[in-house]
Amino acid sequence: MGHRVARAAVHRLAGLGAVTGEVRVTNDKRKGSKGPRVPGFQGELRVPNAGIRIENLSKVFQGRDGGSVIALDGIDLAIEPGSFTCLVGPTGCGKTTLLRIVAGLLASSSGIVMVGEEPVAGPRQDTGMVFQQYSLFPWRNVLDNVAFGLEMRGTGKRERHARAKELLGMVGLARFARSRPYELSGGMQQRVAIARSLATDPDLLLMDEPFGALDERTRHRLQDELLSVWERTGKTVLFVTHNIDEAVYLGQRVVAMADRPSRIADDFPVDIRRPRDRVAPEFVEALLRVRTVLEEVMKESSKQIETTKGG
Ligand SMILES: Nc1ncnc2c1ncn2[C@@H]1O[C@H](COP(=O)(O)OP(=O)(O)OP(=O)(O)O)[C@@H](O)[C@H]1O
Ligand SMILES: [Mg+2]
């Protein structure tokens, strides 16, 4: 494996986009520059434009026994740039598969997936992903895990460590900068992964149940941190969760997926002022809507399993 390929593989594992991807540039006309030119502007000009367009997306996995699993079947979904969307659905309905395809980590079987103006053809530098399972590099300490994406970009040690420390502070792990991942609890490792996904300041954040392993208090704190990052930066966030309260607290929009066949079962805006009050009537109303849809979906799904068994 060539050096470049090896680095790309490591990078992909971190969910941080391709090493050799186009670098979003500065005030010049190099290929890849997305933003307008601003006279006298020297630094990187960020104009997030990471909307997602998914059309008729399908994914079929081939099993070892020759059988196949239809993980996604003709999904259509459009996500506005700068929006915060929560994706819910029963286990196995294809949420992770969808995220991995949008991240460019997994090829689709058919359909269109665009991020910004471009079809997704592989990992993008401007996408940050937090995986459902912790995916830290065991041989790196916490600080260097968080700083990884910046290191790949060629950011100097002092600068990347300063940024990594700031993010570790944000997730409440400043004291653990020199620890190894195995010395941390599962929830702490997940917080490191969240910090890592933010380090390169990606336009698009794909988060797969990032707060699933956390206690309620920590989860609430990190939800608020994430919201403030989102409000400050205009990132596009696609956030998978099994927690209905979390979906309604965070999302501007909640998309509920169903399985067998996988499809969008419900999709609605959550027009509740922030900061949201978890006991306000409109909050509870939105919760009930999501719960009802999911209960329906589960009922359908178990009926189908019964039919398959019986027939
Ligand atoms: N690499 C793979 N090879 C074969 N089948 C797979 C693979 N990845 C996922 N699947 C199958 O695709 C379907 C969707 O899986 P996926 O992980 O996307 O579900 P999910 O909605 O994220 O579930 P959960 O809520 O449990 O995380 C499942 O039936 C799963 O078994
Ligand atoms: Mg999943």
- Best residue among 97, 244, 297 to mutate for probing ligand 1's pocket (most ligand atoms within 8 Å of CB) is 97
**What is the band of 47 on the pLDDT scale with cuts at 50, 70, 90?**
low
Nearest to residue 212, comparing CAs of 266, 143, 277, 133? Answer: 133
**What is the band of 262 on the pLDDT scale with cuts at 50, 70, 90?**
confident
Ligand 1 contact, 92 CB (< 6 A): yes
Q: In this predicted structure, what is the pLDDT of residue 27?
A: 34
Residues 3-46 have pLDDT tens digits of: 443 444 444 444 443 332 222 333 333 334 444 343 443 444 45
**Predicted model pTM:** 0.84
User: What is the Cα–Cα distance from 50 to 203, expressed in whole angstroms?
Assistant: 6
Average pLDDT over residues 66-79: 93
Instruction: Assess whether pLDDT exceeds 90 at residue 132.
Output: no
Q: Which ligand is nearest to the CA of 58?
A: 1
Is residue 214 helix, strand or coil? coil
- Decide which of 181 and 65 is more confident: 181
Residue 290's H or E segment, with its range, is: helix 281-310
Is residue 170 helix, strand or coil? helix
User: What is the Cα–Cα distance from 212 to 193, expressed in whole angstroms?
Assistant: 13
Nearest to residue 259, comparing CAs of 90, 87, 98, 100? Answer: 90
Ligand 1 contact, 87 CB (< 6 A): no
User: What is the Cα–Cα distance from 143 to 198, expressed in whole angstroms?
Assistant: 13
Which residues have beta carbons under 5 A from ligand 2 (an ion)? 95-96, 132
Q: Give the Å distance between the CA of 59 and the centre of ligand 1.
A: 10
Instruction: Assess whether pLDDT exceeds 90 at residue 133.
Output: no
Average pLDDT over residues 275-292: 97
Mean pLDDT over each residue of the chain, to the nearest integer: 85
Average pLDDT over residues 221-236: 92
Q: In this predicted structure, what is the pLDDT of residue 308?
A: 63
Instruction: Assess whether pLDDT exceeds 50 at residue 55.
Output: yes
- Decide which of 3 and 71 is more confident: 71
